[in-house]
Amino acid sequence: MASSICLSPNGQYLRREKAADAAGVLPGHLLIETATGVAVNATADDVPVRALFADINIGDAGDISRAYTNGENVHYVSASKGSYVTAILADSQTIAVGAETGEVAPAVPGRNLMVVSYVFVADAATTVTFKSATTAISGAMTLDANGGVSAESSDGLMWTEPGEALNITNSAGNISGHLTYRIV
């Protein structure tokens, strides 16, 4: 089953839509507005005032593996600098089996992602580490099967480097839960 995503800046769901300028936009992609619609923002030089994130197409029942086609209306949410953005890791969105790293939040050019809370549980004994791209930004958290961990701080628990994605490495089994981060 495909993974799922729910983007909710500051606890609000301000969903917009514009036509895709090219095929290949996936849910979670950082977007940039163009004269005719939206496109994937792949250049660190294009630091938007508001970060636009592609969301799922409601007609796809939460499937984040299907890309929008050229001209298709892309559903997206908009977050300004300092916005809290909540990403939910649903049961269907397991991060890793074996020693693998999964992206939890996409990079925002020129900006840091500050984690302010997280909760997750593991279905097998595992070690979990948060990363800024490939660099650890948390200690390794060792969990027993069916164990969990949570933390919260409005001052921030950890930060990515500017322009780097927030990743989680999971050594075995599956983890699920949710986290909240700010674009700073």
Q: pLDDT grade, residue 161 (50/70/90)? A: very high
CA angle 93, 102, 95 (to 5 degrees): 35
pLDDT mean over 49-68: 70
At the top level of CATH, which class does the domain 84-183 belong to?
A: mainly beta
pLDDT digits (tens, 9 = 90+) for 99-153: 588 888 888 888 888 888 888 888 899 999 999 999 999 999 999 999 989 998 8
Q: Are 145 and 123 in contact (CB under 8 A)?
A: yes
For the record, the structure tokens of 35 come out as 């004269």
Q: Could you tell me the residue ranges of all domains in the chain?
A: 7-80, 84-183
**pLDDT beyond 70 at 11:** no
Q: Is the model more confident about 143 or about 3?
A: 143
Task: Report how far apart, in Å, the C-alpha atoms of 6 and of each of 46, 147, 181 are.
Answer: 25, 24, 13
